[in-house]
Amino acid sequence: MEHSGMPIGPLSDSHRQISVVEPVSPALERVKQMLFHPFDAGKWFVIGFCAWLARLGESGGGGSYGGNNFNSASHPSAESFRDFIDKARDFTLHNLYWIVPLAAFLLLFFLALWLVLLWLNSRGKFMFLHCVALDKAEVVEPWNRFAAPANSLFRFRLVLGLAGMFLMLPPMGFIALLIIKMVLAGAPDLAAILLAAGLAMFMFLVGIVFALIQKFTLDFVIPILYLRGGNCLAAWGEFWKLLCANVGLFTLYILFQIVLAMAIGVLVFFAILLTCCLAGCLLIIPYIGTVLLLPVLIFKRSFSLYFLRQFGANYDVFPPTASQPAPTGLPPR
């Protein structure tokens, strides 16, 4: 088949044998090639820095999941809860002069922090992809080369995040009000419970939709941006055609990703156990933990790239062979 250099059209399931399992083998080979043939500690730390930027703000710190012992004696009564609400209201009204400025400062601070982390994370996504695609340990080159598509990705994710907050915060607040109202009344309200359940289901469905958009953006839209340049919406438009023509394949991809995540989680858990929790202590250290997880991160990034490559040469981010010309939009190397 002759390649014109333009993005090929979306392929239906019957036009090409595409597998969600086949990319596992080349992804593992990519890990061995990049990190162990030969082993180079300096390369680990450079690529690890790009991977750390690509995960910045995403991996939350460790939290305690210890269970709480709830019993009837520890449950606050409606009267005590009402008393707490009254005291909190009185305290707030008498201290508005410093509560309002502090709340505004904290809101602006965390908003600015989120924007900075999101911007750096978007840059890191392209830097890490560059390292994996070309098997190179570089920071400055991909930082400069992919500034424009990374900024487009940042704007897209910013709008996506704000849209998510706009859709999720109102029902969340309304559910909280319904719960407070029932606690103050001291009796369950069937209508309020059904309404809260309906709102919770709405939030769950919205969360799934946004999670899928996020997953497809990171796994497929970013590589298309890497290849074509341009803006994130155009890359999403191209991927949307591919997705619509291959819904079954991408559904299997998501399901297989869940299986992979479970398998990787089990492996990491046993690694922590075998090292007497030493690995777990190291993994929670910023940057160092990312360097140690580099084989897992490169495997996950490579897996999505090898899966996307099955749809044609114009979706291949890896260096071309003699028989396979490079896509037109690929940045110069």
Tell me: the pLDDT tens digits for 174-187? Answer: 998 888 888 777 77
Q: What is the pLDDT along the chain (333 residues), one digit of tens a residue?
A: 333 333 334 444 444 689 999 999 999 999 999 999 889 999 999 999 999 999 998 854 333 334 444 444 445 556 676 677 778 777 888 888 888 889 899 999 999 999 999 999 999 999 999 999 999 999 999 999 999 999 999 999 999 999 999 999 999 999 988 888 887 777 778 888 899 999 999 999 999 999 999 999 999 999 999 999 889 999 999 999 999 999 999 999 999 999 999 999 998 888 888 887 787 888 888 899 999 999 999 999 999 999 999 999 999 999 875 334 444 444 444
Helices 294-309 & 96-134, crossing angle to 10 degrees?
70
pLDDT of residue 81: 67
For 33, what's the count of Cα atoms within 13 Å in the CB-facing half-sphere?
A: 14
**Structure confidence by residue, pLDDT tens digits, 265-297:** 998 888 888 887 787 888 888 899 999 999 999
Q: Which long-range contacts link 175-178 to residues 24+ away (Cβ below 8 Å)?
A: 175/199, 175/200
Q: What value does the CA radius of gyration of the chain take, rounded to a whole number of Å?
A: 24
Distance CA 218, CA 210 (A): 12
Whole-number Cα distances in Å, 31 to 65, 285, 293 = 33, 22, 11
Residue in the block written with tokens 């009254």: 86
Structure tokens at 106: 């904290």
Contact 53, 123 (CB under 8 A): yes
Task: Report pLDDT for 64.
Answer: 39
State which H helix or E strand residue 67 sits in: none
Do residues 260 and 23 touch, judged by C-beta distance below 8 A? no
**Contact (Cβ atoms closer than 8 angstroms) between residue 226 and residue 149:** yes
| Peptide bond between residue 38 and the one before it cis (omega within 30 degrees of 0) | yes
**Beta carbons of 153 and 222 less than 8 angstroms apart:** yes
Residue 314: CB atoms within 10 A of its CB come to 23
Instruction: Print burial letters for 241-269: b (CB count within 10 Å at least 16), e (below 16).
Output: ebbebbeebbebbeebbeebeeeeeeebe
**The residue to which tokens 């082993």 are assigned:** 39
Name the DSSP class of 315: G
* Cβ 126 vs Cβ 317: under 8 Å: no
- pTM to 2 decimal places: 0.81
* pLDDT on residue 16: 61
For tokens 């809260």, the residue is: 196
Confidence at residue 113, expressed as pLDDT on a 0 to 100 scale: 94
Task: Kindly list the distances between the CA atom of residue 17 and the CA atoms of 27, 194, 307, in Å, as whole numbers in the listed order.
Answer: 18, 47, 11
Torsion, Cα of 112, 115, 121, 123 (10° steps): -110
The answer to whether the CB of 283 falls within 8 A of the CB of 289 is yes
CA dist., res. 223 & res. 133, Å (int): 10
Give residue 59's pLDDT.
Answer: 55
Nearest to 301 by CA among 30, 21, 84: 30
For residues 4 and 313, give the distance between their C-alpha atoms in angstroms, rounded to a whole number: 11
* Pair 146, 69: CB distance under 8 Å: no
